Structure 1
Amino acid sequence: MPAGSARKAAGSARSLALDVLDGCLGLKPRAAESLFDNHPGLGRLDARDRAFSRLLYVSCLRRMKALDAALAAHVKKTPKSLTLLNILRLGAAQLLILETPPHAALKETVDLARAKAPHGAGMVNAVLRRLVGSRLADAAAGIRETPSWLHESWARAFGEREADGLEAAHGGEPPLDITCPVDREAWAERLGGVCLGKATIRLRDHGAIGELAGYGEGRWWVQDVAAAALVPLLGDVAGRHVLDIGAAPGGKTAQLCAAGARVTAIESSDARAVRLRENMKRLGFAPEIIVADACEWTGGGGFDAVLLDAPCTATGTIRRHPDILRVRKPSDAARMARQQRRLLEAAIRQLSPDGVLLYAVCSLQHEEGPGQIERLLSGANGVEPVPVDATRLGGLPAHVHADGTLRTSPADLADEGGMDGFFAALLKRHA
């Protein structure tokens, strides 16, 4: 392989996708989105190649079991090298999912193998040639992409029918949701989107986000419609002092600012705080931003409201982050629940008497949602539940439980492109 071709392959969109797969499926997994966004080669790709690279690695993660089954029919032994296996997955995804022209898929993937796993280039060429003309549906028959422990947890919580619906909802590429607090209808028409909920515009076909009209001027921000439905549950926050815990990247912070609240945003990560500041600057908002561990921060208190969108297993966002299917373990929900308990206790301490706490997680796991609130209310924590007012959701479907808590489901809005799964509960501190 000529040196120039090797350098080109090593710096290509496919190579970037390979690095993401290797990083998120390796011994020390990292979030795929973070690997992609922070990859040093990302800036060397144009918008079209960046979009292709992202779609390629996401497709591999979303349909990985089916792709592996398709490959297994043509590979005598699964490669021990993770990089070589991921190259095969990338090639199979191009042929069987993205419908890349076979000559391009074969040439570029074999070039990538020669650059990154030269010992396996011949096998990649042979296997992918045999895959041409195959159908993924044939290989995928009877295969469930969701790990059995995760599917079973959903079946116990919601029933088998919804568990199947959740898996179906995770199978396709979701649309882009943006929150537009002012002149939404006009911006929806300009961007070619449709209005959902109270302030969301949903875009099916779009180019690079940063190149869309209104982005640079701060007229809107990216935020799933379900995430955007949470802040309105607090009611009228104009003039109220609100603490936003774990605020980055800032979608809910921006909603609070747009609604007229005095916002203090706390974020434990320096890097995420930088992103939060950048987003607030673009949007023209000026919340107080503090970098600290919310469990140890003692500089506040007396807030009228606290929003705690707690760290979680994020199983409600698999449609956007399919790497969750590959890296989550059965023990993760219990581990995250322990961290959430500490944050809940810290959030309650920050409330003024009669102040309201909105607890939310983008998780479908019982331990992190209903179980967390049941545990909290079983003790003497100085709070009482406040029923969620579903009329504040702007017509979005939601499951309101008898205890007044709320859940959104990725299986809802299926015909319109779905939505993320959230659990939310309102709590009021005793006077």
Structure 2
Amino acid sequence: MVDARPPRRPAGKPRPAPGGPEPLGTAARRAALRLLDAVLRRGEPLESALAHATRALPGGPDRGLAHAIVAETLRRLPDLDALIDSATRQKLPDDAKARSALRIALVQALALGTPPHAAIATVLPLVDGGPRKLVHGVFGTLMRGAATLPEVPTLPAAVAERWRHNWGNEAAAAAARAIAAPPPIDLSYADPARVLPDAVSLAPAHARVAAGSEVAALPGFAAGEWWVQDLAASIPARLIGRGPGSALDLCAAPGGKTLQLAAAGWRVTAVELSESRAARLRENRDRTGLSFDIAIADVLEWSPEAPAQAVLVDAPCSATGIFRRHPDVLHRAHGGIVAEMATLQSRILARAADWVAPGGTLVYATCSLEPEEGEAQIERFLRDRPDFHIRAPRPGELPDGIVAEPEGWVRTLPGTLEPVGGCDGFFVARVERASA
């Protein structure tokens, strides 16, 4: 047991600086520390914070290492903290630099296969003085005690409680199992006939490849035959079906659903608020050769020139459903964010409904596991708009193993398709406007 209280230094005395050159790889760990701080203390998304946190690194491999360290730390944060707390007499503050340094060292040694001596040697330069001695002591105590991490990670307490309440114990347990390792990669194809013959396929125009596959090296990437898109994320456009006709894809980036609609024969206008995110739309359009228009606009201020036969509302949300690929959401998406997103979704949905032509289709979707952003949202919409009604999926419209709820909408949960690699958490509802 190590005393977590650092020794006091006389006032004004400078912190001692470690001598000698830093061990190779320290820069990547320093970037990882900045990245972890951006997520946990400032609430920034992991992917958004990555460029700034790794700006001083010389190349892609070091940036990839920093990302991998932090992603694995976020998958296993409660268990890492439990180990740290078991080895200190006084609990370290959650935002203490020593705690973050220990998280980074321990996750490397216990989950990423880094030799313990390298894991601690590249982390110690990130702290100095008393905290440095503390980090070294706690790490050594845990390594001598043969510390391990559980095979199934522990969900953050607030998340586990919320999901158990909303979806039951088994869904929460499945969520914990789902974060133990990165999920497989799903591909959506423009032409179903071009799907990789040796890949798992759970729906038309779908292929599933192993986690960690080098995407750009897969057959058909350069030719633009497919794009990366989780199977659950492909459901909204599947429920719109094939064109011809005009379609709006609102809040469209990165563009997977836009590409699906264009490949299905719709004349698509993709509306996206963020210029930087719209760049992804353009990149995907150029690579695939599919045709669609892009409008850089706020859907709360923008209006189409004419109603559309199909409107897809891929609403901004807490994104808790994509926790398998983005474990930072487990630590960022609290109740306040869910409430804020639900308010925004209601405004977007109410506005988009007026853009659906009589007899046309509106599909509302969120990659969220929170009922406030899904079931409650569409129930309120149907009460407010009696000119719309649910149109449940027909046989063959949904991927194998996914079924609609009795109400006619689709909800994927942790545990859905688990034996074949799972899928993201999504809510999707298709509603149809009455004919004039």
TM-score by length of 2: 0.87
> How many residue pairs get matched?
416
Q: For residues 208-357 of structure 1, what are the structure 2 equivalents within 5 Å? A: 208-237=214-243, 239-357=244-362
The one-letter code matched in structure 1 to 2:374 is G
**Shift in Å, 1:217:** 3.0
Inter-partner Cα distance in structure 1 for 2:322 and 2:47: 12
Q: 1:55-108: per-residue Cα shift (whole Å, max 9, x none)?
A: 211111111010001111223334455433221101110112122122221222
The residue number in structure 2 matching 1:164 is: 173
**Shift in Å, 1:171:** 3.1
Specify whether residues 42 and 249 from structure 1 end up closer, same or farther in structure 2 by C-alpha distance, changes over 3 A only: farther
The one-letter code matched in structure 2 to 1:322 is P
Inter-partner Cα distance in structure 2 for 1:285 and 1:223: 16
Q: Does 1:128 align with 2:139?
A: yes
The residue number in structure 1 matching 2:40 is: 25
The residue number in structure 2 matching 1:98 is: 112
Inter-partner Cα distance in structure 1 for 2:102 and 2:388: 54
Q: 1:33-54: per-residue Cα shift (whole Å, max 9, x none)?
A: 221256553873334x444332
The one-letter code matched in structure 2 to 1:342 is R
Inter-partner Cα distance in structure 2 for 1:188 and 1:123: 55
**Shift in Å, 1:356:** 0.4
Q: 1:312-342: per-residue Cα shift (whole Å, max 9, x none)?
A: 1112111111111112222332221111111
Which moves more between the two structures, 283-292 or 170-179?
Answer: 170-179
Inter-partner Cα distance in structure 2 for 1:160 and 1:94: 30
Inter-partner Cα distance in structure 2 for 1:184 and 1:83: 53
Of 377, 394, 400, which residue of structure 1 is paired with 2:404? 400
Inter-partner Cα distance in structure 1 for 2:97 and 2:214: 29
Of 97, 100, 109, which residue of structure 2 is paired with 1:83? 97
The answer on whether the counterparts of 1:90 and 1:109 sit within 8 Å (CA) in structure 2 is: yes
Which structure carries more helix by proportion?
1
Unpaired runs of at least 5, structure 2: 1-17
Of 62, 67, 77, which residue of structure 1 is paired with 2:75? 62
The answer on whether the counterparts of 2:195 and 2:206 sit within 8 Å (CA) in structure 1 is: no
Inter-partner Cα distance in structure 1 for 2:54 and 2:283: 20
Q: 1:210-262: per-residue Cα shift (whole Å, max 9, x none)?
A: 4444333322211111112321111222x221100010011111111111211
Inter-partner Cα distance in structure 2 for 1:31 and 1:62: 14
Which moves more between the two structures, 403-412 or 176-185?
Answer: 176-185
Larger Rg: 2
Inter-partner Cα distance in structure 2 for 1:218 and 1:39: 31
The residue number in structure 1 matching 2:9 is: none
The residue number in structure 2 matching 1:74 is: 87
Aligned CA RMSD, in angstroms, stands at 2.6
Identity over aligned pairs, percent: 34
Specify whether residues 183 and 406 from structure 1 end up closer, same or farther in structure 2 by C-alpha distance, changes over 3 A only: closer
The answer on whether the counterparts of 2:194 and 2:225 sit within 8 Å (CA) in structure 1 is: no
The answer on whether the counterparts of 2:236 and 2:312 sit within 8 Å (CA) in structure 1 is: no
**Shift in Å, 1:3:** 6.8
The secondary structure found in structure 1 opposite 2:248 is strand
Which moves more between the two structures, 179-188 or 403-412?
Answer: 179-188
Inter-partner Cα distance in structure 2 for 1:188 and 1:233: 25
Inter-partner Cα distance in structure 1 for 2:286 and 2:294: 12
Unpaired runs of at least 5, structure 1: none
The one-letter code matched in structure 2 to 1:85 is R
Q: 1:237-293: per-residue Cα shift (whole Å, max 9, x none)?
A: 2x2211000100111111111112111000011221122222222222231101111
The answer on whether the counterparts of 1:302 and 1:351 sit within 8 Å (CA) in structure 2 is: yes
Of 170, 187, 199, which residue of structure 1 is paired with 2:205? 199
Specify whether residues 34 and 210 from structure 1 end up closer, same or farther in structure 2 by C-alpha distance, changes over 3 A only: farther
The answer on whether the counterparts of 2:232 and 2:426 sit within 8 Å (CA) in structure 1 is: yes
Specify whether residues 46 and 315 from structure 1 end up closer, same or farther in structure 2 by C-alpha distance, changes over 3 A only: closer
The one-letter code matched in structure 2 to 1:100 is T
**Shift in Å, 1:405:** 0.8
Inter-partner Cα distance in structure 1 for 2:341 and 2:167: 21
Q: 1:129-158: per-residue Cα shift (whole Å, max 9, x none)?
A: 2222633347x99x842333x334433433
**Shift in Å, 1:374:** 1.0
The answer on whether the counterparts of 1:241 and 1:305 sit within 8 Å (CA) in structure 2 is: yes
The secondary structure found in structure 1 opposite 2:384 is coil
Inter-partner Cα distance in structure 2 for 1:212 and 1:41: 29
Which moves more between the two structures, 356-365 or 408-417?
Answer: 408-417
Of 158, 163, 169, which residue of structure 2 is paired with 1:154? 163
Inter-partner Cα distance in structure 1 for 2:217 and 2:55: 20
Inter-partner Cα distance in structure 1 for 2:191 and 2:56: 32
The answer on whether the counterparts of 1:36 and 1:42 sit within 8 Å (CA) in structure 2 is: no
Q: Does 1:11 align with 2:27?
A: yes
